[in-house]
Every structure is written in structure tokens, then in C-alpha cells.
Amino acid sequence: MTGPKESPNLAPVGWDYDRNHNGTELSDMSEQEPKLKDFDIESQPRRGSQHNVTAIDSLSMKESIGRQIDIESENTIKYRTCSWQKTAALLFSEYICLAIMSFPWSYSILGLVPGLILTVVIAAIVLYTSLITWRFCLRHPEVRDVCDIGQYLFWDSKIAWWATAFMFLLNNTFIQGLHCVVGAEYLNTMSNGAVCTIVFSIIVAIISWCFSLPRTFDTLSKVATLSAFFTFVSVVLAAVFAGVEDHPAGYTPALGDPTVLAVPLKGTTFIQGMNAFLNISYTFIGQITLPSFIAEMKEPRDFWKSVTAVTIAEIIVFSVIGAVTYVYVGNQYMVAPAFGSLGDDVYKKVSFSFMIPTIIFLGVLYASVSARFIFFRLFEGTRHKGNNTVIGWAAWGGILAALWVAAFIIAEVIPFFSDLLSIMSALFDSFFGFIFWGTAYIRMRSEDYGPRFFMVRGIRGWLGFIFNVFLIVVGFFFLGPGTYAAVMSVVTSYDEGTVRGVFTCASNGL
């Protein structure tokens, strides 16, 4: 391993470029002769994480990305084509989504003040961990997805790679399943349950499969912009309609006018509070897709612009829509998603209808990320990956079909909105929202400054170390008590008969 050396003429990689405690810059150690098994999916030498989780210089990164683009230049299908604006569009479509309409319900459980505070705190933490993700990807431009990062973080362990891949695919398929649930919910609402819910779920899955067929994020980004725009219109209309109508759905004089609480209602259980917290967290946490997006950017150093713009928009939209809708609906009449709390049937259907693009597109986005992960591993080094071949397109369509069949099954087994959000948040956000990125920070700093980096860097080192250990602890809290609360909520829902059964034709319309 080559030791640190001065590179005075090399510009830093954004604000990620680190120096050792003597002020000398740390260079990439890729001049060692790579072994054949260490070549990654883009035919770039893969630096073993046990030795080289170190910053790379600007020139090395440009050369690495340049080689990847050159490799694709002769292909019909080119992947590294996204600008930061197109990446921002993908992020907007991922975050400005139907889950926004779970915020009013979460605020009704947590109380308006704690709910708004948690919204800002979680957004800030997610922005911080997203920038850690970006920093790690800058160090390793050959990384294609979060599974590569999982292997890097845990000392090149193939077990870590397979475990990450399993969670990665399951998380994405759960999200696809959620959109099958919501799509069937929409069709039932519009038609007043005219067809068996299973049939509606199948229809949504087939439509989503068709829209999943484009093979590059550059193509999907164009649709993503429309999806985010119509979602914004949908949630704004819902909040406005909640304010202008006389009474929310289910209103009776006995229950009275909407009650708004600044703090949680007395008697709120841990399970209720935890599920409300998990619903908010799920909407913000999306780092699982970030490495995949960064891997298709022409200039990855600009990613911070995309994620910062999206985070600011999230805080504003989520807080305002959640608070306004909650204030006008109140605790007594709140359901999730909050479209169901609108008393006027026309208001409900009009606002819900603008959500159609995101109902389809967000599931499509996650299906595309999963299919790309599988497809690249199957066809790396072949002409089928980057060209229009019968085998390539047949495999791509077949992979997507298998993913949507699995999503349909999940949608029928867990056919309810808020509990499905909570389960996904507890199981997957624990790792992909917290544990991975706290570990990534510690690994990067240890490689740059040594295992006692928190002592070498003074107060800055101690603060960084303590905060990232805290992130890891929060992740395990999500995984343990969070999963328990989510599962118990599902059990309670079935015991109380508040949800329809498994694989049933009963309408789930709002």
C-alpha cells in the first residue's frame, strides 16, 4: 500500500476531499496491479475496501468516469448520461410522493409540535447521511449500487454483499407492492368498488410493468418531472379542499368539530407513536437508491445540488401540507392516506386523481433500480447490456415481470397503507437510512486519519464520531423496537377487523 504523498497540483473532489492530520493529501492507491476478480461491473479496477476506503483526487475520479463513458460510447444504450438537474427530477419523484398524505395522520398521533420538529430533524439527518453516501461514491466511482457499498463497508465480505442485495431487492419490491395497494385503492375509489380488488391490483401491476421498460434513468427523468409536479398539485388540492369543505368525512355532532393537539393525546401507546414516527421517517429516507443515481451521472460531484434542493422542498411541502390538512381534519376524522378524510366525494376524487402519475411512476422507479441491479450482474461484459438485442430485452422484460409478480403478492398479503409503510421503514430504513452511513463515515475517517481519528481531529473528530455512533444506534432502534411496533400494529389491525383479508375482493377504496 502506497503511503500518503503530496499532490499540490490536484484540485479537491468537491468538499469531500480529505487531508490527513499533517495536511498532506491522500491519493488513490489504484496503481497496484489489480487482480482479475477485482474488476467491477464497469471494467474499472475495484479497490478492495479493506485497504482503500480513501479519498481519490479529482484527476483520478475524472479518468475513472471518463473510462466508463468511453466504454459506453460504442453502445446503443448509454447509462452515465444524467445531469444534476435530471437527477434532481428523479429525487423529486421519489420523495414528493403519496406518502406525504400520511403526515397528517402522523401529526394526529404525535401532536402537531413534536410532529413538525421530527419532520425537520429527520430531514436534516437524511440530508447529512445522503451527503455521506455521496462522499463515499466520489471515493469509489466504480460503485454501481448500495450493494457494492455494503461490501466495501464490511471489509469486502461477500456475505455482506449478498445480505445487502437481499434487503435492497426486498425493500424495492415492498415499495412496488405499496403502489399496487394504492393503485387498487384509487381504482376502487373512482369506481365505487366496481371490480374485485385483486383484479385492480393486477391491472396496476401490468400498467407499471409497461412503464418500467425504459432502461436508463435519463429516459425516466423526463417522466419523473411530471410525476413530481402532479403529486404537488394533488397534495395542495387535498389541503385546500380540507380547508374549504364544511366537515371532514365521518363528521357527526357527537364527535364534534375537529380537535387539533399540540402534543400527543393522553393514552397514546408506544406502538401508535412509533408507527407515526416510522411513517414520517419512511417518506424522507431514500438513500438506498442514491448510489444507483450517482452511478449514472455525467458529473457526480454535482449531486449535492440535487439532494439539497430536494431536501429544502421536502421540509416545506411535508410540513405545510401535513399541518394544514391535520388542522382542518382533526384527530377524530383522520385516516391515512388523508384523501380519505375529505368529506366531499368530488373533492376526494379530484385531488386523488392528480396522484395517478406518482402511483405508477414511483413503483416503476424502484422496479427499474432493482431490474438494473439484476440485469447488470447477468449481462456484464456482454453486448446485451448496452445494445438492443432480443436476449437483452427479453431478459429485461422478464426480470421486471418477476418483480411485479412479487410486488402483487406482497400487496395482497399486507393490504393496508400506514402499516406497510411502518414495516418497510423499520426493516430497511434501519440499515439504508442510518447504520450504513454512520459506518461509512467512521470507515472513511479511520482510513484518512487512523483508527483514533476522533482524537487526532480534536473536537471536530469527537463530534463526528459521537454523532455517527448515534446514527448507528438509531438504526438498531428502528430495527428492534421499530419492527416490533410495526408488526404489533398489523396484528392489532387484524384482531380489530379494521382491514380486509388476504387476497380478497373486498373494496379498499377511500
Instruction: Please report the DSSP string for 184-228 in residue order.
Output: HHHHHHHHTS-S-HHHHHHHHHHHHHHHT----HHHHHHHHHHHH
Integer Cα distance of 52 and 64 in angstroms? 16
Q: Name the residue with higher pLDDT: 283 or 240.
A: 240
Residue 401: all three cell numbers together:
415481470
| Lowest mean per-residue pLDDT among 66-75, 105-114, 233-242 | 66-75
| Whole-number pLDDT of residue 220 | 79
| Whole-number pLDDT of residue 404 | 94
Helix, coil or strand: residue 25: strand
pTM for this entry: 0.77
Cβ neighbour number for residue 296 with a 10 Å cutoff:
22
Cβ neighbour number for residue 120 with a 10 Å cutoff:
12
| Lowest mean per-residue pLDDT among 142-151, 238-247, 346-355, 370-379 | 142-151
Whole-number average pLDDT of the chain:
80
Please give the backbone phi and psi of residue 494, each rounded to the nearest 5 degrees, phi first. -70, -40
Judge contact between 366 and 447, C-beta under 8 A. no
Name 443's Cβ contacts closer than 8 Å, sequence gap at least 6: 49, 53, 153
pLDDT at 22 over 70: no
Q: What would the DSSP string read from start to end of 52-114?
A: ------HHHHHHHHHHHHHHHTTSSS----B-HHHHHHHHHHHHSSGGGGGHHHHHHHH-HHH
Integer Cα distance of 87 and 306 in angstroms? 6
Judge contact between 342 and 241, C-beta under 8 A. yes
Is the omega angle on the peptide bond into residue 258 within 30 degrees of 0, that is, cis? no
Please give the backbone phi and psi of residue 441, each rounded to the nearest 5 degrees, phi first. -60, -50
Q: What is the mean pLDDT of residues 85-98?
A: 84
pLDDT at 168 over 80: yes
Integer Cα distance of 459 and 179 in angstroms? 46
Residue 452: all three cell numbers together:
483514533
Q: What is the mean pLDDT of residues 5-24?
A: 37
| Whole-number pLDDT of residue 73 | 55
Band of pLDDT at residue 202, cut at 50, 70 and 90: very high
Task: Go through the chain and tell me how many residues it has.
Answer: 510
| Whole-number pLDDT of residue 87 | 87
- Over residues 309-320, the pLDDT tens digits come to 999 999 999 999
% pLDDT > 90, the chain = 29
| Whole-number pLDDT of residue 65 | 55
Integer Cα distance of 284 and 299 in angstroms? 24
Residue 6: all three cell numbers together:
503530496
Integer Cα distance of 211 and 93 in angstroms? 15
Is the omega angle on the peptide bond into residue 8 within 30 degrees of 0, that is, cis? no
**For 80-496, which CATH class?**
mainly alpha
Q: Where are the domains of the chain?
A: 80-496
Integer Cα distance of 208 and 229 in angstroms? 19
The single-letter DSSP state of residue 38 is G
Residue 32: all three cell numbers together:
497496484
| Whole-number pLDDT of residue 21 | 38
Integer Cα distance of 363 and 174 in angstroms? 9
Integer Cα distance of 507 and 510 in angstroms? 9
Q: Name the residue with higher pLDDT: 67 or 494.
A: 494
pLDDT at 157 over 90: no
Q: What is the mean pLDDT of residues 65-92?
A: 70
Name 351's Cβ contacts closer than 8 Å, sequence gap at least 6: 234, 235, 237, 238, 241, 339, 342
* Radius of gyration, alpha carbons of the chain: 23
Enumerate the β-bridge partners of residue 39.
45
Q: What is the mean pLDDT of residues 137-158?
A: 85
Q: What is the mean pLDDT of residues 323-345?
A: 90
Q: What is the 3-state secondary structure (H, E, C) of 325-357?
A: HHHHHCCCCCCCCHHHHCCCHHHHHHHHHCCHH
Q: What is the CA 441 to chain-centroid distance, rounded?
A: 20
| Whole-number pLDDT of residue 441 | 92
Integer Cα distance of 186 and 183 in angstroms? 5
